[in-house]
Chains A and B, each alone.
Chain A
Amino acid sequence: MLVPFLTALPITGAFISVSDASGRQSSLCSSDPVAARLDELQFELGEGPQREATRTGAAVLIADVAESSHARWPIFGMALRELDVAALFAIPLVLGAVTVGAVGLYRSIPGNLTDQELSTATAAASAIASVAVRHALAAAGEYGAPESSAAPAMRREIHQATGMIVVQLETTATIAYSRLFAHAFGSARSVHDVAHDVVSRRLNFETLPE
């Protein structure tokens, strides 16, 4: 999954983290130990550019790690000094109005991505978004019935249910989506089953106990 990024962009390494079946961000893959550490640190600290890209749906570009203030992720910023990372980029993984995770790209020399490189990275990130979700679901397979082989990330009811939960909880699509996943995880059912219950009005998140 990382190959398109590593071959098309002037970067040293890459990693992907997505919302897993529990609705939390978790690591999916990384190209080298530094990339893995970058991912792990943000998971442990609960802060960093990948977390922010996932939350806001906007890319975060740090062209020069040494010169950047890291005000939004102070602890992660300090930890970065220990690593051979000169530039760090976070590209959101987007499914419609939902951000499902982010790709992290780093390089050991400073410098920004060009507009062309950024659009290549964004296109590659979009292309893998549904695949990334499928991997995350498969990895959590023991928590629910196996997902349908017919591309679960594209199953319409999941997206329709997401839209319905947006209204039920008066929230954003990204939060609605993660609540859907979290509920499936918590009740040991498949996401598609839960989505089906929402669409057929057997389950309403508004009346669900927290």
Chain B
Amino acid sequence: MSNASREAQLSAAFVKLADTLTADFDVVDLLHTLVEECATILDTEAGGIMLLDAAGDLHLVASTSEEASLVEIMQLTAGAGPCVDAFASGTTVTVGDIEASGSRWPAFRDEALKHGFKSVHSTPLRLRGRVLGAMNLFSIRVGELNPADIVVAQALADVASIGILHERSTREKEIVSEQLRYALDTRILVEQAKGVLFESTPMTMHESFGSLRTYARDHGMTLRIVASGIIDRSIGVDDLVRAGVPK
């Protein structure tokens, strides 16, 4: 990719992210936008953002696809995989050739290769010395991220950290934990709402997620509020279906 188009893409991404950081933004939605932009800009095929919960486990909160296989691979990176290393070191870990990673992370390696992924890059989400989670990017081609790409990935990951903190930045320590928890809990609500849609419409889990997000955007609502509305039936499933399924 040429530097000029990279720059244009990056500034467009930052504008889009700044747009998302409005008064009523939703952390999970922001992280989705972020990982989609990042995967595109760094020319990778799939990506996901993992956040740390109160018990110290990493959970997938946003990903470029809701397909179960990708979710599983992402979760594996957090069990014994590059994500753990990025998390522990606080720096980007780039694995240019998963096949050559040997016996370091056997379960992750097998699963990633089975789905055609050849390389993976894991960037920590940092906030003033604290690591909140990590962003994974997968490519179907062999090759490490170059130093310029690493800077880009880190810059976008830092936006995610800022987004997590954004709401009220005063009571820092408490707020970061609170925002992390809020993001993780929103993700649970979204999964429950996906289940409702999956059962009552012909949509797949992935399409169900897309329709929640589209509806939220079209109505200026947060993903969390739409998900709750679907579960407690204050928003009709039919309204959501009518709103259309994206891509």
Q: Which residues of A come within 8 Å of B, CB atoms?
A: 94-98, 120, 123, 126-128, 130-131, 134, 149-151, 154, 156, 159-168, 172-173, 199
Q: Is B10 on the interface with A (CB-CB < 8 A)?
A: no
- A172: chain B residues at CB < 8 Å are 232
Q: Is the interface of B mostly helix, strand, loop or mixed?
A: helix
- B198: chain A residues at CB < 8 Å are 160, 163-164, 199
- A130: chain B residues at CB < 8 Å are 53-55
- A149: chain B residues at CB < 8 Å are 79
Q: Is the CB–CB distance between B54 and A127 below 8 Å?
A: yes
Interface pairs A-B: 7 shortest CB-CB? A163-B195, A159-B191, A96-B188, A96-B189, A127-B54, A164-B199, A160-B195
**Which of B78, B188, B199 is A95 in contact with, Cβ under 8 Å?**
B188
- A96: chain B residues at CB < 8 Å are 185, 188-192, 227, 231
**Which of A127, A164, A166, A199 is B181 in contact with, Cβ under 8 Å?**
A127
Give the docked Cα–Cα distance between A177 and B193 (Å): 13
Between-chain CB contacts (< 8 Å), 10 pairs? A96-B227, A123-B177, A134-B55, A151-B57, A154-B187, A156-B71, A160-B192, A163-B231, A166-B192, A167-B196
Q: How far is the CB of B210 from chain A (nearest CB, A)?
A: 15
Q: Is the CB–CB distance between A131 and B55 below 8 Å?
A: yes
Q: A96-B185, A166-B231 are in contact. Are A131 and B59 (CB under 8 A)?
A: no
* Chain A proximity mask over B189-231: 1 for CB below 8 Å, otherwise 0: 1111111111110000100000000000000000000011001
**Which of B181, B193, B205 is A123 in contact with, Cβ under 8 Å?**
B181
Q: A159-B192, A163-B191, A163-B192 are in contact. Are A97 and B199 (CB under 8 A)?
A: no
Q: A97-B228, A154-B59 are in contact. Are A126 and B185 (CB under 8 A)?
A: yes
Q: How far is the CB of A194 from chain B (nearest CB, A)?
A: 14
Which residue of chain B lies nearest to A95 when distances are taken between CB atoms in the complex? B188
Give the docked Cα–Cα distance between A159 and B191 (Å): 5
Q: A95-B185, A127-B177 are in contact. Are A154 and B53 (CB under 8 A)?
A: yes
Q: Is the CB–CB distance between B57 and A160 below 8 Å?
A: no
- A154: chain B residues at CB < 8 Å are 53, 57, 59, 184, 187-188
Give the docked Cα–Cα distance between A159 and B186 (Å): 12
Q: Is the CB–CB distance between B53 and A162 below 8 Å?
A: no
**Which of B181, B197, B228, B232 is A126 in contact with, Cβ under 8 Å?**
B181
Q: Which of A163, A167, A173: most chain B Cβ within 10 A?
A: A163
Give the docked Cα–Cα distance between A95 and B181 (Å): 10
Q: Is the CB–CB distance between B59 and A151 below 8 Å?
A: yes
Q: Is the CB–CB distance between A150 and B191 below 8 Å?
A: no
Q: Is B239 on the interface with A (CB-CB < 8 A)?
A: no
Q: Is B178 on the interface with A (CB-CB < 8 A)?
A: yes
Q: How far is the CB of A58 from chain B (nearest CB, A)?
A: 14
Q: How far is the CB of A51 from chain B (nearest CB, A)?
A: 21
Q: Is B174 on the interface with A (CB-CB < 8 A)?
A: yes
Q: Is the CB–CB distance between B189 and A97 below 8 Å?
A: yes
Q: How far is the CB of A24 from chain B (nearest CB, A)?
A: 21
- B181: chain A residues at CB < 8 Å are 123, 126-127
Give the docked Cα–Cα distance between A199 and B67 (Å): 13
Q: Is the CB–CB distance between B193 and A163 below 8 Å?
A: yes
Q: Is the CB–CB distance between A98 and B53 below 8 Å?
A: no
